[in-house]
Amino acid sequence: MTEAVVFDLDGVLLDSEQVWDEVREQLTRERGGRWHEKAQRDMMGMSSKEWSRYMHDQLGLADSPEEISAEVVRRLEERYRRALPLIDGAKESVERLAARWPLGLASSSNREVIDLVLELSGLAQFFRVTVSSEEVSRGKPAPDVYLEAARELGVPPERCAAVEDSRNGIRSAKAAGMRVIAIPNPHFPPGEDALALADVTLGSLAELTPSIVE
């Protein structure tokens, strides 16, 4: 029986994966790094500590990982304050499920970005718990961020449902023992191997109802 629902943020509630991609690619090229086609997929799901280290080590930015992370966050916040790319139906789906279950958020975004998005969108009131993967040992596809969300909610992971869009996110929630509801990201589809791990696959947030979660 489901006792709580944990949402991912980027790609599920926010159409933002390509925004992260654009910001990190622009910074890499500006700073003389070596951007390549695999970089976005490699970094998807990584914590801020992991992807900033990747940009330093693998993409060749001279700045420290801490400086890289801070600059990416600054640019993202600037973009979001101008226009928040909230996915159609995001607010309605969160409200719908919050009326039935306590909600958590398990995101790879930096803490500052999570807090800003929830403030700008008006969704902060619906989430009892929010966890950034920078606050746990390992980012997705490791289960750490989902396990921490379940711990803070006070609900066993196997009694939580997770809503995810990406390959690493689906793998992370499944590894935590949660029931996984996949809403594939159209820009960066997770692949059949990851979708096979999901308990349910939906076409959009409009299909995310309490009966589906149960």
0.75 exceeded by pTM: yes
Q: Report, as ranges of residue numbers, the positions in the chain whose pLDDT lies below 50.
A: none
Structural domain harbouring 60 = 17-82
Which one of 64, 82, 100 terminates a domain?
Answer: 82
Which pLDDT belongs to residue 40? Answer: 87
Strand order in the sheet with 200-201: 129-132, 103-107, 4-7, 160-164, 179-182, 200-201
Which one of 67, 82, 97 terminates a domain?
Answer: 82
Which pLDDT belongs to residue 164? Answer: 98
75 and 93 housed in the same domain: no
116 and 209 housed in the same domain: yes
Which pLDDT belongs to residue 93? Answer: 97
Which one of 65, 82, 99 terminates a domain?
Answer: 82
68 and 95 housed in the same domain: no
CA 9 to chain centroid, in Å, comes to 4
Which pLDDT belongs to residue 44? Answer: 82
CATH number, domain of 98, equals: 3.40.50.1000
Give the number of domains in the chain: 2
Q: Name which of 80, 128, 88 is nearest 106 in CA terms.
A: 128
Which pLDDT belongs to residue 37? Answer: 86
Q: Name which of 205, 156, 51, 52 is nearest 146 in CA terms.
A: 156
158 and 105 housed in the same domain: yes
195 and 93 housed in the same domain: yes
